[in-house]
Homo-oligomer: A and B are copies of this chain.
Amino acid sequence: MTGRSLRLGAGGEFDRLRAIFAALGAAGRDLGDDCALLPVGGRTLAISIDLSLEGVHFRTDWLSFREIGWRATAAALSDLAAEGAEPIGVLVSVGLPGKSRGKGKGRRDPATEIMTGVGAAARSVGAKVLGGDLVRSGRYLVDVCVLGLAARPVRRSGARPGDGLWVTGRLGGAGLALAGLRAGVRLAPALRRRFARPTPRIAAGRWLARRGGRAMIDISDGLAGDAGHLAAASGVGIEIELERIPRWPGVTPLAAARSGEEYELLVALPRSFGAAGARAFRRATGLPLTRIGRCASGRGLRLTDDGRSIVAPRGFDHFPVR
């Protein structure tokens, strides 16, 4: 089985990528998954690449260089988590401005700091830094390619009508932190950590793959956007009950459904998976696992608020207006 991995953002980015891969003759088959899958020597390699740019994905006045390296790597590793894969290693390209800011002020070299963050994130899930490239650039950039092994890869496309739809952790923290940073508010340590040092849900993804997860995706474009991607890939409809979404304190259900770069997992599980399964998940991973809706026949995404349909919010857009 060979799949193609594409990071599919909202709207125009998705359309553009579709056009590009159509030009490559790859349209329609496995288009858009968290990882590409490659059979090697009887194993299945899962691979993904994830580009983080200054001014788009991070700002150097919001994050330390070490956090920039960690966050970019965690974002890429999150794709392995969504495949149920075990990380092996990462390769990383780093772009650095000519006179790297922060030097000569008693701070360490930004390149070293970024790579230290990359290395720490990789080590946290048992992966090695295998290689890299370093280039002078107008702005900072960190592009991380991750490799893992997937004993039982979980695609986006395996959800079936009747499956339960579950989410790990609590949503809305990343969006709340981002709003705080934009407003110049000092963040509480836990909230700041949530944004600056997200934990890739590797153990959770592997647990869910072993326990029969049918389709999985990481929440990088926001729950609503990624639920839509999962629904489209699986050819099912998805209903989400907004009030069931587990949230950070102070986050509304709609904000939680829209918050991007959450790096939690959205997973379709057989109807037989229930509260006992969620308790076993929590014992194994320390995380909550919450049923927020279900898969149904049909197409598209339906959000309900106490049983009433509401209009789906737009997903997180990787192409912000600058």
> Which residues of A line the B interface, CB within 8 A?
2, 4-7, 9, 13, 16-17, 19-21, 23-26, 35-36, 38, 40-43, 45, 47-51, 53, 55-57, 88-89, 91-93, 95, 98, 109, 111-112, 115-116, 119, 128-139, 141, 143, 145, 147, 149, 318-320, 322
Contacts and interface: CB of A to CB of B under 8 A. Distances in A.
A17 B134 contact: yes
B40 A109 contact: no
A2 B56 contact: no
B91 A7 contact: no
Contact of A7 (B2, B20, B134): B134
25 contacts: A5-B130, A6-B132, A13-B134, A17-B132, A20-B111, A20-B112, A20-B115, A20-B134, A26-B129, A35-B131, A36-B89, A38-B89, A38-B147, A40-B40, A42-B42, A47-B89, A47-B145, A47-B147, A48-B91, A49-B92, A53-B137, A98-B319, A135-B318, A136-B320, A138-B139
A19 B108 CA distance: 11
A5 B57 CA distance: 26
B131 A48 contact: yes
A93 B143 contact: yes
Contacts of A13: 134
Contact of A116 (B23, B38, B95): B23
Given A7-B132, A36-B130, A57-B135, 20 more contacts: A2-B130, A6-B131, A16-B112, A17-B134, A19-B111, A20-B109, A20-B134, A23-B119, A40-B40, A40-B43, A41-B42, A47-B89, A49-B93, A49-B132, A49-B133, A49-B145, A56-B137, A98-B319, A135-B319, A136-B318
Contacts of A24: 115-116, 119, 129
Q: Give the residue among A133, A149, A319 with the most B Cβ atoms within 10 A.
A: A133
Contacts of A98: 319, 322
A116 B49 CA distance: 18
Contacts of A36: 89, 91, 130-131
A56 B136 contact: yes
A49 B136 contact: no
B135 A56 contact: yes
Contacts of A109: 16, 19-20
A144 to B, nearest CB: 9
Contacts of A16: 109, 111-112, 134
Nearest to A321: B98
A130 B47 contact: yes
A112 B40 CA distance: 29
A227 to B, nearest CB: 21
